[in-house]
Amino acid sequence: KQHGNQSLPPGPTPIPVLGTPKYMDLSASTKNFPKLSQKYGSVFTIWKMSEPVIVLCGYETVKEALVNHAEQFSERPIIPVMDLSNEGYGLDGRRWRPIRRFTMTSLRNFGMGKMTMEKRVLTESKYLIQAVSETGGKPFNPRMFLAMAVGNIISSVLFGEHFDYQDKQLEELLSSTSRHLCNIVPVLLRFSVIRQKVVKEKLYLQNFVMKYIKHHKETLKPESPRDFIDYYLLKIKEVEHEMDPDFCETSLLVIVIGLLIAGTDTTASTLKFSLVLMAHYPDVQAKVQQEIDKTTNSLRPPEIMDKPQLPYTNAVIHEIQRVLDLAPTTLFHAVTEDIKFRGYTIPKGTTVIPFLSSVLFDPSQWETPEVFNPGHFLDEEGQFRTRLAFMPFSAGKRVCLGENLARMELFLLFSALLQRFTFTLPPGTERQNSKYLNLNKTEIIASGQICAVPRSLSK
């Protein structure tokens, strides 16, 4: 197809002005994109009105773009909802590079010191276990508890706050962040998002976070930063002599809100899906429990240092993330300059969609792509093996900034819960196969119920 005098990848013919609206409906992308890819190949063009949008399919293609041409594919198109009030500072704004670098380093620093990230997660897992045990084995939807646990972890990291599970503030915060994320991650599209509402939620989040920034400024001790806001405030002081510093209170506010939105519902939904899946696959669950019992001797919750002794558990968590495919079209990318890719020309600024589903289900990469199979991540000796096509966090310069935290949360919370409880389907509910589970993810995450039957820990 000709766009100007350059050759774009092929694709369905756009309707003048409207483009290809059918294919811009991302909630249908898992259905539509494979068909388009079959017809036009692993790189094709769809149209958002009169703007071309390039879709990348399959492990080889996505890797070639995001990893081999990482720099060129590292830009973001402007997402109006996100751009509303961030004044160019957000992680998708013009100034993302230094802010992203700083944020990653500070999150990594929480791996050290008194209150390590692991300790924060382990502390929270106790509250979660308590809340789950109070359901007394009766059917319940664990979604809210999981969101509260994960919300508490990120708020402890960002501003040192732990909320009680009954606290209305936490509930408000969670529903606010979750409605925001729905705009971005189609599998989480449960609520109809009205623009006005988004603006209101944003204001709520702004006021909420501003209160903490104010309090932190008043109580900051430069020699002992307590959390992310403290680190950031110190950085602001360090660069305040600069003419137009990237680090200022506006960018702090934008980043903290961004982290709250990106860091809560993603992990909580993955955990929710994990528990329901375990109820549908009792053999897998029993094997995980056996491995955990053997390693921890039934007494203490699993820790990160146990991971090498828990290859099966680790494989199960990876396989859950693969089949969940939480962000099928990830966040949009854009190219930094005119580039040649696979014989085509993609003009500077063009939106690019790396279609992660097509990587996580790529038949050339997975033995049984459509089937839940922890064996994908195990070698012949039953040891854990990484797979290059495991990209639920995407890849390259824009790979999920919270990947380490998310993986730590998934491992610690999932294994702590399975150590204490056996998750079963409510009486009268039938077990389902991979196909059903694949087709009903949104429903399962939103409203699926399970029972948590306490296990008797021997010794």
Q: How far is CA 43 from CA 58, 59, 248, 445, in A?
A: 9, 12, 40, 31
Is 262 a residue that touches ligand HEM (CB under 6 A)? yes
Binding to ligand HEM (CB under 6 A) within 95-114 occurs at: 96, 100
Select from 263, 301, 328, 448 the one that contacts ligand HEM (CB under 6 A).
263
CA 80 to chain centre: 20
Stretch 46-85: interaction string toward ligand HEM, x if CB under 6 A: ----------------------------------------
Please say which residue, 176 or 266, places its beta carbon nearer to ligand HEM: 266
Q: How far is CA 362 from CA 45, 60, 342, 358, 445, in A?
A: 20, 10, 19, 5, 24
Binding to ligand HEM (CB under 6 A) within 287-326 occurs at: 326
Task: State yes or no: 57 annotated in a binding site.
Answer: no
> Among the candidate windows 32-40, 88-96, 223-231, 425-433, which touches ligand HEM by CB under 6 A?
88-96
Binding to ligand HEM (CB under 6 A) within 139-178 occurs at: 154
Select from 258, 301, 302, 328 the one that contacts ligand HEM (CB under 6 A).
258
Alpha-carbon span 100 to 127, nearest angstrom = 31
Q: At what angle do helices 143-159 and 195-219 cross, to 10 degrees?
A: 40
Is 350 a residue that touches ligand HEM (CB under 6 A)? no
186-197 as b/e: b if 16+ CB within 10 A:
bbbbeeeeeeee
Q: How many residues bind ligand HEM (CB under 6 A)?
A: 26
Please say which residue, 89 or 424, places its beta carbon nearer to ligand HEM: 89
Minimal CB distance residue for ligand HEM: 402
What's the closest the beta carbon of residue 430 comes to ligand HEM, in angstroms? 28
What's the closest the beta carbon of residue 359 comes to ligand HEM, in angstroms? 11
Alpha-carbon span 295 to 153, nearest angstrom = 25
> Among the candidate windows 207-215, 258-266, 366-374, 433-441, which touches ligand HEM by CB under 6 A?
258-266
What tokens appear for 396 in the block?
Answer: 């390259």
Select from 259, 279, 292, 334 the one that contacts ligand HEM (CB under 6 A).
259
What's the closest the beta carbon of residue 264 comes to ligand HEM, in angstroms? 7
Is 205 a residue that touches ligand HEM (CB under 6 A)? no
Alpha-carbon span 297 to 190, nearest angstrom = 41
Residue type, 23: Y
Please say which residue, 53 or 262, places its beta carbon nearer to ligand HEM: 262
Is 120 a residue that touches ligand HEM (CB under 6 A)? no
Please say which residue, 27 or 38, places its beta carbon nearer to ligand HEM: 27
> Among the candidate windows 133-141, 167-175, 265-273, 444-452, which touches ligand HEM by CB under 6 A?
265-273
What's the closest the beta carbon of residue 96 comes to ligand HEM, in angstroms? 6
Q: At what angle do helices 195-219 and 228-238 cross, to 10 degrees?
A: 70
Please say which residue, 301 or 354, places its beta carbon nearer to ligand HEM: 354
What's the closest the beta carbon of residue 394 comes to ligand HEM, in angstroms? 3
Q: At what angle do helices 228-238 and 96-109 cross, to 10 degrees?
A: 130
Select from 330, 373, 415, 419 the one that contacts ligand HEM (CB under 6 A).
330
CA dihedral (281, 181, 80, 31) in degrees, to 10, reads 20
Q: How far is CA 374 from CA 369, 386, 404, in A?
A: 11, 12, 21
Three-state SS at 125? helix
Binding to ligand HEM (CB under 6 A) within 351-410 occurs at: 392-394, 398-402, 405-406
Q: How far is CA 311 from CA 314, 374, 455, in A?
A: 5, 10, 22
Alpha-carbon span 411 to 406, nearest angstrom = 9
CA 411 to chain centre: 14
Binding to ligand HEM (CB under 6 A) within 425-454 occurs at: none
What tokens appear for 173 in the block?
Answer: 């915060």
What tokens appear for 160 in the block?
Answer: 């040192």
Which residues are at the interface with ligand HEM (CB under 6 A)? 91-92, 96, 100, 154, 258-259, 262-263, 266-267, 270, 326-327, 330-331, 392-394, 398-402, 405-406
The annotation places the binding site for heme at: 400
The annotation places the binding site at: 400
